[in-house]
Structure 1
Amino acid sequence: MVFARLNYVELPAADIAGSKTFFETAFGWSLTAFGPTYAATMGAGTDIALQGDMLEAAAKPLAGIETDDLEATLAAVEAAGGEITVPIFAFPGGRRFQFREPSGNELAVYINEPGD
């Protein structure tokens, strides 16, 4: 069994600057920018991320599951009946894929790969 835990929730953010300011002001969170359309907290618990690119944003909040073996987790998701909605892709700091589980909820699975 691979390591996996719910680690973040990604929110669609049509106004990423406004949303970033809101969460920083309302909750005192510090969000790190990963380019002009993405920002996220970088804490020890469950983080929040803002996706400002509406072409890449999920229609609903997207929960992220961290794993230590992305390919094995992808195989397990498919074997359990999950539908891959976004194949594995690289992002600054790692790789991820997205899937839909039988009730229709979309989630992401990612692996941290610092320096990649």
Structure 2
Amino acid sequence: MTTDPRHYRIDNIEFNVHDIARSKAFYGAVFGWTFTDYGPAYTEFSDGRLSGGFTTGEPVRPGGPLIILYADDLALARQAILQAGGTISRPEFPFPGGSRLHFTDPDGYELAVWTQG
């Protein structure tokens, strides 16, 4: 039974950046975003409706930010991704606040799914 209203909705967008301070200055000045730092390699941003993050923990990749969906059960999401023809590009891994995995859809777009815990 699904109880979390975020289940299978876009929950987060993550930008891999070269310089977090520069990104914070830019998006704060242009759009008024606010920030919460979680160590030297990650900061969360909020635009007042949607949150996301800037990280230096991964290489900057062409093609834009990583779109992250939320799932109540990561194992069931993994199974559904594989059954629908997706590929797991990065197996489940923990991070502060939960765990996530990355996958590619049939066209090769990479997204991620996370869960709390």
Same fold (TM over 0.5): yes
Q: Which residue of 65, 69, 74 maps to 2:73?
A: 69
Q: Which residue of 93, 96, 99 maps to 2:100?
A: 96
Change (3 A) 1:92 1:42: farther
Q: How many residues align?
A: 112
Cα deviation 1:66-110 (Å, max 9, x = unaligned) = 111111101111111111111111111111000000111000100
Q: Which residue of 100, 105, 108 maps to 2:109?
A: 105
Cα deviation 1:20-40 (Å, max 9, x = unaligned) = 222122222111112211111
Unaligned runs of 5+ in 2: none
| Structure 2 residue matching 1:4: 3-state secondary structure | coil
**TM norm structure 1:** 0.84
Q: Structure 1 residue 18: deviation in Å?
A: 0.6
Percent identity between the two aligned chains: 36
Unaligned runs of 5+ in 1: none
| Structure 2 residue matching 1:40: 3-state secondary structure | strand
Segments ≥4 residues shifted beyond 3 Å: 42-45, 57-60
Matching residue's letter, 1:29: W
**TM norm structure 2:** 0.83
Change (3 A) 1:79 1:8: same
How large is the Cα RMSD of the aligned pairs? 2.0
| Structure 2 residue matching 1:71: 3-state secondary structure | helix
Matching residue's letter, 2:89: T
Q: Structure 1 residue 54: deviation in Å?
A: 3.5
Alpha-carbon contact 1:84-1:98 (below 8 Å) kept: yes
